Structure 1
């Protein structure tokens, strides 16, 4: 820095000397100031006098220039010091910024590493989820195939059942006719027994009376015991006769109803209903099955989900509930606000199914429905999966 300043100062001095010489000559020429006259000492003295004058002017000019240059040097030094201070401040600021940038860089590197690790975890989860989705899709396809096969088997079974039911009814009518004839013969035999039993008792009584008159006191006690046993046998025989008569009457009534059409299938009561849409968030109240597949006797109301018994009798009810996705759900078969049985579908895997059946004795007007118990959300399809059925036996 200082050699540069020194060279700069020397250059300025040379420039000022040149300017001073020019100024002196110009001043002498242009101002018209007469030089002091010295004694006439010849040409050499004139030259010497001019040289002295020029030297004096040059010294004065150099003095001014030196003072100006010193001021400039002081100013330049202050500027250099200020620049050095600014440069130190800038260097410190740059160092601080570099440290800050290094810290931020380290932080960004840590965040990038964390993001990479998180990305790897997410990729693993995504791979696992994709595998689960493929497995669920395969299970759904298998379930669909099983459902179609089950529907086919159900239709085949229903047709076979109808054929077998017709054959069974025909055989039953034949057997009832045979049974009626047997019962008539049994009734006739029972009437004959009614006639012979009193005569037999009377004969035994006379024999025992004669024996009582002819035997000792010890034999009399034994005879009394035998008579008591005979009376007990007689009472049991009469009770069996009453039971037999009641059975005969029941069979006669059954035969008359069969022959008169009292058990017409068209007059029986039964229903099968389901839902064709699922509800992921269902969790309270009655489960209303809006899709009615069968409703003989018009006991089921599709608007309220309640079955009302058209007549007194014994009824069988069956519920199937399929949980939505991996939910858990519990529903009850309710008879007049009292829960009878519960169907439980535990959400260990997707679309678990719970079933249960109840046999109930109902009076005309009694109500039965399916009620939410706990959990939530059920699944169904266009062909009902969640269903409710019942019939009178």
Structure 2
């Protein structure tokens, strides 16, 4: 048998070796078991340390990846925040533009309302002008007037209708210069005026007749030559009624002086 001294790894530096000669077989088994357990514990600890180191390295890697990801997220967030700020600025500018456009639209609307009022006034003026033109055309269509005179003197005239054979003025009058008779074109009130000059002291009296009935008369009667008789009358006529100048007295009438009629017959619708 070999005698050896061994130092238990479970002892500190001050521990002393065991005398294997004094240890029986049972104690040796116990020591061996303890050594085996210590070895197992050491191996387990080493294994655990290696595992922990691997875990720490893994955690460090994951932490680094997380930091990179966080940094990337921060950059992305900063970029998105910058984009959002830019969009907000653009929206503010667009809002300013919208407000400016609204103001322009309001101004344009007010201008449009003003122009519409002007247009309405112009339309009203045009409508009034149209009505006036229509009335004017209607008035022209319903105006009747004439003036006629005799062109030759008559020293022996003693009966019948005095014929005023020269038409001086006429608007759709209805006067016939061949017969000396005015025929009313439409129903209405008419004014008639006659001026007759007697021929050299021959005296002169005439009637204004309506449908053969005397209405008024005029007389040129004096010791002086070429006396003038005048009269005017307003007559209500139906369409087709006739008016003329008829003989009453005397023996002649004077016609023209220097080729201008002095004995005349006029009429018009009022």
Structure whose residues are more often strand by fraction: 2
Structure whose residues are more often helix by fraction: 1
Larger Rg: 2
